[in-house]
Structures are given as structure tokens and as C-alpha cells.
A and B are shown apart, each in its own frame.
Chain A
Amino acid sequence: MGLTPEIFLFALFSVVSIVSAILVVALPDPVKSAMSLIVSFFCLACLFLLQSAELIAVLEVLVYAGAIMVLFVFVIMLVEKRDEPVVRGTLAARVALPVKLGAVLVVAYGLFSAIRKAPLAGSAELPEGFGSVVSVGHEFFDNFLFHFEITSILLLAGIVGAVVVTKKRKAS
């Protein structure tokens, strides 16, 4: 199998998304973390497109890279004032990092071996118009109507909750 455009795009976007995800964790400045998170979301949207999930790819850019990250950057602007303190040189702090990374690696190894054992051979044929607005919309309103309505209540609760939590309380 030669280097088809699809393999090239998959390799490009997966490498860029992994690198920018590592930068989110590694960069000390939260604004730079937010910017590399946007790059990661954009690469994920392209990977969704490669799997013919057009609507989800558009929503990823609109909702995540657009709305959610703007909210993040605003809050960083409101809150940020100094860098994180350097990790103290106590024994506990020095032990904590390898322990945390080890725990994450154990989980990752478990997931990797589960994927290797999973019966994943032979993907199904994709139906006509798979992932388009029309097909996802039909799926939504035919089979998931209740979930759609509940989502609107959830978002309303989110709006009200955000306003209530940030409201300044009267001095008692």
C-alpha cells in the first residue's frame, strides 16, 4: 500500500494533534495552552472529516474551537495573574510525578491491549450520505428525539447555573 492522500492526511493530522496535545500540558502559559488546544481541535475536526463525519467536523470547529475556547481565553484574561509555583522539592512532590505518569501509562497500556484483542476486522459499508446533515438529522429526530429535548434543558440549566454562580452576592 503506497502513500495515498488519505494515509498522508491521517499521519499529518494525528502527529500534529498529538504534538499540540502535549504542548497543552507542557506549556507554562495558559494562553499558549489554549492556542495549542485549538490546533488540536482543528486537527481532530480534519480527522472526523477523513471518517466522513462532515456535520460533526463542522460542529467541532464551531462549538469547540469557536465558542468553548473563546470562553476559556476570556476567563484566562479575567483570572490570570501569576505563574504556577514551581513544584516544591519535598520527597512527596518528587515521588508524585512518576507515580502519576505510571498510573496513566498503566491505563493506556490496558486500553491498547483491549484494542489489540477487540474483533475489529471488516468495517461495514457506509450508507449513502453517511455523516451528512440530512442523515444525522434523520437519525436524531427519528430515534433520539427525547435526548434532543433533554439537551435543551441541560443547556438551559448550564446558562442559569453560570449566571447564578458568578453573580456577586450581597454582603451579609
Chain B
Amino acid sequence: MITPTIPVEHYLYLSVILFSIGAAGVLIRRNAIVVFMCIELMLNAANLALVTFARHHGDSAGHIYVFLVMAVAAAEVAVGLAIIIAVFRARNSVNVDELQDLHG
């Protein structure tokens, strides 16, 4: 393995940039699937920060947190995409602007 020498700040700045791009995507895009993908992007930016701090402190607990985030993301994607399919069946649309009322 290469011994890491790049300053921790660089990875954290990259993580902030990716998180911001994901947040902008969640706010701007109207397709529910793309909104979901942007949420995955934000989760991965958080993962990058966790891995960076794990390396910074020399403590592999950060890797455990990344593992847990991945498990949560997998469960979230399974249920979320199921909801998107159910909504598409009911409304014939995945545009989040058209989904404004609670009753099916």
C-alpha cells in the first residue's frame, strides 16, 4: 500500500464539493429516480469524510461506520425504489412536483 501523504483537508474539501453537488441535484431535479441518485451521491460524500477521519486518527472505527452507512443505503434504495414503482403504478408519473397530495 502507498502511505498516505496528501493532507486530510483536501479529501474533506472534495467531500464537501460532492455533498453540495448532490444537495443541489436533490433540490433542482424533478425526476424522483434522479433525486434518489443524488441522495446516494451525498451519502458517498459522507463516506469519504468518514474514511478520511479514520485515516487521520488511525482508527478503523470509521470503516465500520462506512459499512453501516452502506447497509442503510442498500435497505433505503430497496424500499425507496419499491415506493417509486408503487407511485408510478398509481399515478403514472415519477415527477416529484406532481405528487402533492397524500391520498392514493
Residues of A within 8 A of B (CB): 4-7, 10, 14, 17-18, 21-22, 24-25, 30, 33-34, 37, 40-41, 44, 47-48, 50-56, 59-60, 63-64, 67-68, 71-72, 75-76, 78-80, 84-85, 97, 100-101, 103-105, 107-108, 111-112, 115-116, 120, 123-127, 130-131, 135-136, 139-140, 143-144, 147, 151, 154-155, 157-159, 161-163, 165-166, 168
Contacts and interface: CB of A to CB of B under 8 A. Distances in A.
11 contacts: A25-B22, A25-B34, A63-B70, A64-B70, A75-B81, A120-B12, A143-B61, A162-B79, A165-B79, A165-B82, A166-B85
Contacts of A161: 75, 78-79, 82
A84 B35 CA distance: 12
Nearest to B60: A139
Contacts of B85: 75, 78-79, 165-166
Contacts of A144: 61, 64
Contacts of B44: 40-41, 44, 60, 64
**Interface class of chain B by DSSP:** helix
B79 A158 contact: yes
Contacts of B7: 120
B55 A140 contact: no
Contacts of B1: 52, 54
B51 A51 contact: yes
Interface in B21-35: 21-25, 27-31, 33-34
Interface string B57-85: 11111011011101111111111011111
B63 A53 contact: yes
B15 to A, nearest CB: 9
Contacts of B72: 154
A121 to B, nearest CB: 9
B9 A123 contact: no
Contacts of B79: 158, 161-162, 165
Contacts of B94: 79
B81 A71 contact: yes
A101 B36 CA distance: 18
A54 B60 CA distance: 11
